[in-house]
Amino acid sequence: MVISGSPSATSKTEAIGDHVARRLADYEWHTGHLRVRTLPAAPLLNADVTHPAIAEAVEQVSRADGIVLATPTYKASYSGLLKTFLDLLPRYGFRQKTVLPLATGGSLAHLLVLDYALRPVAHALGARHVVQSLFLSDEHLTCQDGLPRLLPESTRLLDDVIEQFCKSLVSAS
């Protein structure tokens, strides 16, 4: 399951999440792409896990074997939107799950968001294994028809990380 925490419908992060979901399907993994921005704001902000849309999103996480966390980098950390969703999950919401952290940002100066922010929260949620993460900066993407697209070399980097993620999923099952 891909969880993207970008507030923008035309974000680089969401485009990367879509790419990951397609690649996981190529490996014959059933996957969904939860775009946290599409959840109803009031129940999300009020941590109303009884709201049907929020309850379904939390249940999707519960059923998943693996989680891909995709976030833009804001102020040297993952997005507040992603944080708000992760705070809804049970204490060990990632128990027995493999997690792949991905981040996008304007420059490599934000690279440490993965090791100092996203990886620790995955472990705090009880992840069984957090695989090698990947940071994609603006130089990894181009804009085509108004939408972000991965450059070929960046696609290969991301596909290598996805392959490692899949191998970890297989070894866990």
Q: What's the confidence (pLDDT) of residue 28?
A: 86
Q: pLDDT of 157-167, one tens digit each?
A: 999 999 999 99
Range of the structural domain that residue 135 is part of? 2-172
Task: Report yes or no: 100 and 67 within 8 Å, Cβ to Cβ.
Answer: yes
Residue 146 pLDDT exceeds 80? no
Q: pLDDT of 25-80, one tens digit each?
A: 988 888 899 999 999 999 999 999 999 999 999 999 999 999 999 999 988 899 99
Q: What's the confidence (pLDDT) of residue 142?
A: 76
- The average confidence (pLDDT) of the chain is 91
**Proportion of the chain above pLDDT 70, given as a percent:** 99
DSSP 51: S
CATH code at 138?
3.40.50.360
Q: What is the dihedral of CA 31, 37, 43, 44, to 10 degrees?
A: 80
Of residues 108 and 130, more confidently modeled: 130
Question: Into how many domains does the chain fold?
Answer: 1
Opening angle at CA 167, ends 162 and 168, nearest 5: 95
Task: Report yes or no: 42 and 74 within 8 Å, Cβ to Cβ.
Answer: no
Q: What's the confidence (pLDDT) of residue 151?
A: 80
Tokens of 32: 């969904």
Q: What's the confidence (pLDDT) of residue 141?
A: 76
Q: What's the CA gap between 82 and 41, in Å, rounded?
A: 13
